[in-house]
Amino acid sequence: MNHGPGLSHPPYPSGLILAGRRVVIVGGGRVAARRLQAFIDAGAAVTVVSPEVDPAVREAANAGTVTLLEREYAPGDLSAAWYAMASTDRPAVNAAVLEEATAARIFCVRADDAPLGTAWTPAVGHHQETTVAVLANRDPERSRRTRDRLLEALRSPIDG
């Protein structure tokens, strides 16, 4: 079985219970903005560290649903986190974030170079009480398409 470029084993799927738990996102640009709502929906206590931010991140900060630190990453920012995401546009910074996370055994997505990270983000959908999460071998377009097909099947009267 092929598990995608850079992976010798498949990822282990897990439903993380993040309510009230600290999640730190370093780099608040487009990728962070796309993923932010799922963390908020999960009830996570999200902190974003980023000198500039996407408007969606700014909106969440203004609404008080995330804590925004408008500055560059500094070692120690992952303190007490359960989960982290390195999503800056600077590989050296993402590497430093991952290094801090790994030293503290905090699972960490690395948005620019997935095989180096310790977690991946699936394409997610919800139908009633069912959550669908798809990882497709580092092919996000395929994971999105598969997620949509699964949701369609769940919505159909036969499978739903």
Ligand X SMILES: NC(=O)c1ccc[n+]([C@@H]2O[C@H](COP(=O)([O-])OP(=O)(O)OC[C@H]3O[C@@H](n4cnc5c(N)ncnc54)[C@H](O)[C@@H]3O)[C@@H](O)[C@H]2O)c1
The footprint of ligand X (CB under 6 A) covers: 26-32, 49-53, 72-73, 87-90, 93, 111-112, 140
Q: Does residue 118 interact with ligand PQ2 by CB under 6 A? A: no
Q: Which region among 49-57, 64-72, 100-108, 138-146 touches ligand PQ2 (by CB under 6 A)?
A: 138-146
- What is the 3 state secondary structure string of 83-123? EEEECCCCHHHHHHHHHHHHHCCCEEEECCCHHHCCECCCE
Closer residue to ligand X, CB minimum distance, 148 or 154:
148
- Report which residue's Cβ sits closest to ligand X: 29
**Closer CB to ligand X, 28 or 150, in the complex:** 28
* Shortest distance, position 135 Cβ to ligand X, whole Å: 12
- Binding partner of residue 73 among ligand PQ2, ligand X, none, CB under 5 to 8 Å per kind? ligand X
Residues 6+ apart with CB under 8 A from 77: 24, 26, 47, 49, 69, 97, 100
Q: Write out the binding residues for ligand PQ2, residues 28-67 only, by CB under 6 A.
A: 34-35
Residues 129-142 as b/e (b if ≥16 CB within 10 A, e otherwise) read eeebbbbbebeeee
Q: Nearest to residue 118, comparing CAs of 2, 1, 50, 16?
A: 16
User: Which is nearest to 79 in space by CA: 106, 43, 50, 117?
Assistant: 106
Q: Which is nearer to ligand PQ2, 136 or 154 (CB)?
A: 136
Interacting residues toward ligand PQ2 by CB under 6 A: 34-35, 109, 111-114, 120-121, 123, 135-141, 143-144
